[in-house]
Amino acid sequence: MSATMIWIFVLLLLGSVPVGFAILGGVAGALWLDGKSMAVLAQRLYSPTQSFPMLAIPFFILAGNLMMSGRFGTYLVNIARLLVGRFKGGMGQVSVLGSVMFGGVSGSAVADATALGNALIPVQKESGYPPAFAAAVNASSSTVSVLIPPSIPLILYGLIANVSIVNLFIAGILPGVLLAVGMMGAVAVVGKRRNLPRAPLEGGFAAFKGQLFIALPAMFMPIFVIGTLRFGIATPTEVSVMAVAYAMAVSGILYRDLSWRVLWEASVATVMMTGAVMIIIMASSTMQWVLTLERVPQFLAEWVSVTFSEPWMVIMALNVVMLLIGTVLDLPAAVLLLGPIFVGIGQAIGLDPVQLGLMMVVNLSIGLYTPPVGTTLFISSAIARVGIGATVKALLPFYMVSLLVLLLISYVPALTWY
């Protein structure tokens, strides 16, 4: 039954059926061909919506949407400019550092690529940056957001792998910083070679003091999230709710740009994203049902540990599989599909599930800016009005940096410390 299911799923997926429905089609087809009751579909579809920790997903999305909808973004860019604008290729550095800061309020790379891309790419083009390079920096650096807490993909992984979301969040900070530092290095090299202009903040620190004071509360969000989680003051779900309240307070009281309209639009965007993510979670739960019934994860884990003699080979194999799948499949979908199977394999070779989670998210987020299908790649190229091919060429140094970071966190457990 499992083999039939996978075949139908892959066929439907390649035929451009939405991921959730492709999975459901595979499961339904396999059940029907096997003469089994299809009632299990509805039962398993419903199950993930009964999970209390799952509530953290819509609320973290909402908190990020609320934060990004206001004036906060402008302040953030100014802070980044003050800090790194004076170097060669300054606006490129601002793009990377901005992603780190945005990452602290948003759990989504695409939101980051859209917001920062619209703010920075036009300015970069005006000051003489090659459009492809501007798009490349934006496409790659925006993925830092899913490593700096909060992070939607890490929450998803935590839920399916039954790993503490708190630990994942903490473990994500160092790889996120490492990735950002590496990308800033790449920008510096390119900036120097192409003699890209500096972009210090006009008026320097003096002009900025007032704004810094206003922007600080918003930047306090990641510290608030990690702090409350780390010291066990509240659980991820509670923190996500408080993060929404916090975002509402900051933009309502401090920035005074919260209106019913903003609230409604942020909410609609949130429920739509939640629906689109949850259909994949729900559909994978039907697929898991068939797989566990036939003990596929166990067999697979056994097969892998017999085929590859050394753990490092298994880790390498997992990474190659993920890089391949990431070229076509969206990050959360890939985490949900591969997670349950990879966790079993990781267990068999004694890999820490938290490290595996970070490995998966770092690896699959590279897929966001690889052809043929990559969302931050598409968004950034569209904003810069440049062809995908040109952006991919300009992305080469960034691919090298991210692969290096991936290699490091795959084999140095200390880098995903929690």
Partner 1 sequence: EDVIFAHGENPGNPRYIAAEKWAELYTECTGSSVNVAPSATMGDDVEMLTSVGAGIIQITANSQGSFSQIVPEIGLLGLPFLFPDLETAWATVDGEVGDLIDERAHESGLKVVGYWDNGIRHITHLSKHMLEPADLAGMRIRTPPAEMTVDIFEALGASPAPLAWSEVPSALQSGVFEGQENPLTNIYFAKLHEITPYITITGHMYEASPVVVGLGWWEGLDEATQTCVTDATREAGALQRQLNKEGNEKLQATMEEEGAIFATANREAFVEATASVYDKYAETYPELVKALREAAQGQ
Partner 2 sequence: MSRSSSDATGGRQRPLVHGLLKLCRGLTLGLDYSARVIAVTAMAVMFTLLLMNVVLRYIFTTGIPMAYEIHAVLLPWLVAGGLVVASARNRNIAVTLLPDMMSPTARRLVLMVVQGIVLLIAVSIVWSGQPILRASTFQSLSTLGVKQVWGYASLPYSFACISVIATCDLLRLILRDETLEESLLTPTSLS
- Within 36-95, the residues that bind Na ion by CB under 5 A are none
φ, ψ of residue 69 in degrees (nearest 5): -80, -15
Q: Which stretch binds Na ion (CB under 5 A): 93-101, 150-158, 186-194, 336-344?
A: 150-158
To the nearest whole angstrom, how small is the minimum distance from the Cβ of residue 363 to partner 2?
13
Strand spans (E) along 238-305: none
Binding flag, residue 237, partner 1 (CB under 8 A) = yes
The binder of Na ion chosen from 20, 353, 357, 367 (CB under 5 A) = 367
Cβ atoms within 10 A of the Cβ of 163, count?
A: 20
Rounded CA separation 288/44 (Å): 9
Binding flag, residue 149, partner 2 (CB under 8 A) = no
- Within 351-390, the residues that bind partner 2 by CB under 8 A are 365, 368, 372-373, 375-376, 378
Instruction: Using the structure block, give the residue that is written with the tokens 């970070």.
Output: 358
Question: Which run of H or of E encompasses 110?
Answer: helix 109-126
Binding flag, residue 18, partner 2 (CB under 8 A) = yes
Asked if residue 74 lies in contact with residue 53, where contact means CB atoms within 8 angstroms, the answer is no
Binding flag, residue 339, Na ion (CB under 5 A) = no
Binding flag, residue 106, partner 1 (CB under 8 A) = no
Q: Which stretch binds partner 1 (CB under 8 A): 50-58, 247-255, 363-371, 406-414?
A: 50-58
Amino acid symbol at 21: F
SS3 category, 204: helix
The pair of three-digit structure tokens given for residue 224, joined into one six-digit string: 């608030």
Asked if residue 92 lies in contact with residue 135, where contact means CB atoms within 8 angstroms, the answer is no
Binding flag, residue 148, Na ion (CB under 5 A) = yes
Binding flag, residue 238, partner 2 (CB under 8 A) = yes
Amino acid symbol at 220: F
To the nearest whole angstrom, how small is the minimum distance from the Cβ of residue 241 to partner 1?
12
Cβ atoms within 10 A of the Cβ of 88, count?
A: 19
The binder of partner 1 chosen from 122, 174, 214, 238 (CB under 8 A) = 238
Binding flag, residue 252, partner 2 (CB under 8 A) = no
Asked if residue 267 lies in contact with residue 62, where contact means CB atoms within 8 angstroms, the answer is yes
Binding flag, residue 59, partner 2 (CB under 8 A) = yes
Q: Degrees (nearest 5) of the Cα angle 334, 340, 342?
A: 80
Amino acid symbol at 202: E
The binder of partner 2 chosen from 77, 100, 155, 277 (CB under 8 A) = 277
Binding flag, residue 376, Na ion (CB under 5 A) = no
The site partner of 264 among partner 1, partner 2, Na ion, none (C-beta below 5 to 8 Å per kind) is partner 2
The binder of partner 1 chosen from 15, 210, 232, 372 (CB under 8 A) = 232
With 0-12 / 13-18 / 19 or more C-beta atoms within 10 angstroms meaning exposed / middle / buried, residue 164 is middle
Rounded CA separation 175/136 (Å): 20
The binder of partner 1 chosen from 15, 16, 37, 126 (CB under 8 A) = 37
Binding flag, residue 33, partner 1 (CB under 8 A) = no
The pair of three-digit structure tokens given for residue 30, joined into one six-digit string: 């396999």
Residue window 62-81: x/- pattern of binding to partner 2, with contact defined by CB under 8 A: x-------------------
Rounded CA separation 156/165 (Å): 9
Nearest to partner 1 of 37, 195 (CB atom): 37
Q: Fill in the DSSP letter of residue 130.
A: -
Residues in contact with partner 1 by CB under 8 A are 37, 39-40, 43-44, 46-47, 50, 52-53, 231-235, 237-238, 288-289, 292-293
Residues in contact with Na ion by CB under 5 A are 103, 107, 145, 148, 151, 327, 367, 370, 373-374
